[in-house]
Structures are given as structure tokens and as C-alpha cells.
Structure 1
Amino acid sequence: MAFRRLLRSSVPESQLSAVAAEVTRRFGEPTEDVEWERLDANNWLSVPCVVNRRWFVKVITEQHTFVHALLTAGRNIGAFSSGTEGFFERFSTPIEMAEHELDATKRIRELGIAAPEPIEAFEYEGVGVLVLEYLSAFRTLDELPSEEIRSFAPTVFSNLASMHAAGLAHGDLRAENVLVAPDAEGVETLYFIDATRVQDGTIDDAKAYDVACALASMEPRIGAGSATDAALESYSIDELLAARDFLDFVGLRPDHDFDTAGLKGEIEKVAS
């Protein structure tokens, strides 16, 4: 716990309040009596807030870029252990992190995949600030009943496949980064958030890693068979075998807890 507290950046309330006022100023609203709230989220790479119940704001500090560099190094070591070169890239500054997520969110939406509307990224008094649409009523994928996860699973993989076909990888696919919220017509829709950076020219390895993460996210709730069947609607057997090679690495991540052997066995069974 002490190590987690060391890594997690603490941003003073006064600084968050100033950022919230700057957000409202930029969008032409009064800066007096700004309504803002720090969200209680398990996030090492930003401090998330909601401003005026309209904007989802991520405040990114130098410490967040340092933590991202540590995580990136660890992930690349894991990629090496899976038999491929590392493909994750780090960020140099807080504003670079904010601008990357803004651009990645724009690209995801351009593919027709739901994601919160990207609004702006800017630097303010040494921190990076990312402003996105606030989804006021959402559930993360892991909060859904198992049957709902089963019904959404093919869409998770088809959206990933659309990203991969366009040369875009998510890089940090886990249940907490897939949201379910009503769209403009009130239809429950999957939203993808928190895409990270991977190197250009590494889409095949990044794709295999994304698929492995998606399988690992779903296996505990719907079983290895259902997760694999959903993936097979969008990916070939060979692509699932490539994902299998990353499962040991994914299993080392503290945010994934799944039956590695069972999932590998299911992939090998359908490949035989």
C-alpha cells in the first residue's frame, strides 16, 4: 500500500479547483461557484474530475508521466518474455499524454466506435488537462451481470477488430476501460476509453495483446468457451493463437485475474 501511495500522484484541491475554473472559462461559462468533483477512481495515470456535470476532466502531472514510463518499461519487458519486441511507447510530458488520448479518442470515433466526445487538451500551470464528454450514467463492463457481458462480448471484439484493421491498437484493454452507457437515443452502447500508445509498425503484436487482454477480461465472468467463441466472430484461429502467446504476460498484470491455463486450452481446442 505504501508503494501504491508513492506512485499515485496527489494533486492539491486548490490546483484542481483552478483547473475546473479554467475549463469553464474556456467554454464561456462563469468561473464563480464552479461545481467540480474529484472522482474516486483507481487511476495511477491522472486525477479524474467532473466539472459542472458536463465535462470529464483528467489532470495529468509530471509524476503521472513518470509512472506511465515505469508501467511502459514493465509492459515491454513482458512483451519480450512473450517472444516479441516491446511495442509500448512512453510520453515525455503531461500535455503529450493528454494530447495523445484526445487524438486516440478522435480516431476511435472516426471509425464509428463509441467513445466519449473529445473536446480539448491543454496545458495549465505545469499540468496536462484533457477534457472529454461526461457520461453521467455508465457501468464498466465488469459491473454488468454475466449474461449482459455475454451479449456485449461479440461487439467488444468487433470494435477491436475495426480498430486493428485501421492500424489502431488500444494497448490497455481491460473491463474498466469499456463502459456501457445510453447513447443519444437511449440505447445501451459500449464506449471505449483510455487507449494508450503503441509504436508505429507493431500493429500485429499490439493486436494479439489487445485480444489477449479482452479474453482475460471476459473469461472470469462468461467462461473461456464463451469468450473464445465471441472472439472467433471477428478474429481467425491464427489470430487467437497469436493472442494465446500473450496470455502468460497478461496474467502477470494486477488488473487481470483469470484462468490462464483454461483459456489457453480453449484456444488450442478450437485450433485443433
Structure 2
Amino acid sequence: MSFRRLVRGSADWPALERVGRELADRYDRDCVRIEFLDADNWLSTPMVLDDDRFVKVITPQNTLVHTLFTTGRNLGAFSAGSEGFFERHETPYEMARHELEATRQVRDLGVNAPEPIEALAVGDLGVVVAEYLPEFCTLDELDADSCRALAPALFDALATIHDAGLAHGDLRAENVLVLDGELYVIDATNVSDDGRTDARSYDLASALAALEPLVGATSAVDAALTSYDSDALLAARRFLDFVAIRPDHDFDAAKLRGEIEKRAAGPPDADGG
């Protein structure tokens, strides 16, 4: 077994068969067809059930990896001058239940997200079931012009989540799906109540970081300013270095920081000062 597979904790075939049988019974189907998705996912085994339901199977090893990621992210938050605001899960079922509830909260706000169906435990596995969105692409699969046109909608959705007192906690291009010209937000992580102010600044930094390599720093900041003021961008600025060290973000932090600072300074005086 490769090291990457060991760390990811992929569920073995007998366990996945048990999940398939359980879902067939729950949905009153004689049998089900399972298609595994080719996804670089460290925290679950994603699959599609009968072309109409998206399923994530979470193992105890996935929960352990999530705990390690959470520790690392909190250390990164400390480096940005913040208390750690990421929270871990105790069990695979707790992870599944959190994702279901987070998705439900987002949809209740009017933000597009796949319809949550249920979370359940199958043995020591956690299973979350949601609507399957066919024919979607992720934000980073769009061409620059299409991405630039949708960028304000991303910050509008994020502001809606933030105005409700919530935070996403893991915003990146792979967690923004595009279907029929509409954005869908997925995979919110667990953020503490006490740390949500900093978490919202981190979200904004993450959204800017996701967009910068796709549309450039100027267009990313332009889009952010349709929903946030310059003070919010300045608060997000201190998290850019933290976001930059994450392996799932690759962007020019210096360009973003410079663009934010330029906008915060405002236009030059009429006399050139």
C-alpha cells in the first residue's frame, strides 16, 4: 500500500459494499450502481450513487488526517496573529453530520449548494449523502473571462454567509462548483464560534488567493470590493501569508497585498500628493 493511500485512509471494498447495501435498503432500491470519482481527496472517498446522489464515505483514518490538518491550520492562524479557529471532529459520523448541517445552513441563506439529504454511520464509517450535480466544473477550470464574470458572485455568496455570522473555513477553487452559469459552494469546514471574526477574514483571503492566479490581483480585488469594503480587505491581508503556505493554494501574495494596500490608500490627491 502506498504512503499516500495509507494517509488518506481509503475505505476498502468490503466496507464500501456495506455502504452500498445500506443505501440501497434506505432508498428502497433492489440494487445500486456506484461510480467512484477521480478526486484528489484526503478526507473521504467520494462516489456517485445511481447518477442522482453524491456520497462521501469517511473513515477513522480520514478523521485522524482531518485532526492533523486542523492542528497545522491552527498553527498557521497563530502565525498570522490570530487564535486558532479551526475545530476537529471526534468521529467519522461527526464529520459527516457537520458537512450535512453546514450545507443546510448555506442553502437556508439562499446560497447555492447541493441539497443535503442525510448523514449516517455504517459501522465505523461516516457517510454523507447529497444531491449530485451533473456536468459541473470547478472555478479553476473556467477560462479567465468566464471566471472574471463570476467573481463578484463568489464574493456576494461569501458576504451572505458572513453577514449571517457564519464562516466557510476552506474556500478554494475546488470547493466552488459552476453549473449552468451559477456558483455552488461546497465543503465548509468546522470553525469555532469564538474565532469566526478571524475566520471570515481568512475566508476573504482564501477567496482572493483562489482568484488571483485565474484573473489577476487587480480583477480579484475589484470583485471583492463589490461586496466588501477596504477595511475588510485589510483585515484579510494579514492571512495571505498563511494561505500561501497551504499546498492547495498557489498565488502571488505580494501582488495581492500590494493591490489591497493601494485600494485602501485611496486615489491620490488632486495635486499629486
Contact 1:9 1:61 in 2 (8 A): yes
Corresponding residue of 2:170: 172
Question: Any idea what the Cα deviations from partners look like across 1:237-264, whole Å, max 9, x if unmatched?
Answer: 1110011100000000000000010110
Q: 1:250 to 1:3 in 2, by over 3 A?
A: farther
Contact 2:10 2:44 in 1 (8 A): no
Corresponding residue of 2:19: 19
Shift of 1:168: 1.1
Question: Any idea what the Cα deviations from partners look like across 1:157-190, whole Å, max 9, x if unmatched?
Answer: 01000000111111000000000013xxxxx211
Identity of aligned residues (%): 59
AA of the residue aligned to 1:219 = E
Cα distance in 1 for residues equivalent to 2:249 and 2:10: 25
Cα distance in 1 for residues equivalent to 2:18 and 2:193: 36
Cα distance in 2 for residues equivalent to 1:92 and 1:65: 7
Question: Any idea what the Cα deviations from partners look like across 1:19-59, whole Å, max 9, x if unmatched?
Answer: 1221121112213xx21011111111100011111110000
AA of the residue aligned to 1:239 = A
Bigger radius of gyration: 2
Cα distance in 2 for residues equivalent to 1:36 and 1:212: 37
State the Cα RMSD in Å.
1.2
**Which aligned pairs between 1:120-139 and structure 2 lie closer than 5 A?**
120-139=118-137
Q: 1:143 to 1:235 in 2, by over 3 A?
A: same
Which runs of 5 or more residues in structure 1 are unaligned?
Answer: 183-187
Corresponding residue of 1:114: 112
What TM-score results when the alignment is normalised by the length of structure 2? 0.95
Corresponding residue of 1:215: 208
**Which aligned pairs between 1:217-256 and structure 2 lie closer than 5 A?**
217-256=210-249
Cα distance in 2 for residues equivalent to 1:51 and 1:79: 37
SS in 1 for 2:216: helix
Shift of 1:125: 1.4
Shift of 1:206: 0.5
AA of the residue aligned to 1:140 = T
SS in 2 for 1:114: coil
Contact 1:17 1:36 in 2 (8 A): no
Contact 2:10 2:59 in 1 (8 A): no
Cα distance in 2 for residues equivalent to 1:129 and 1:10: 13
**Which aligned pairs between 1:40-119 and structure 2 lie closer than 5 A?**
40-119=38-117
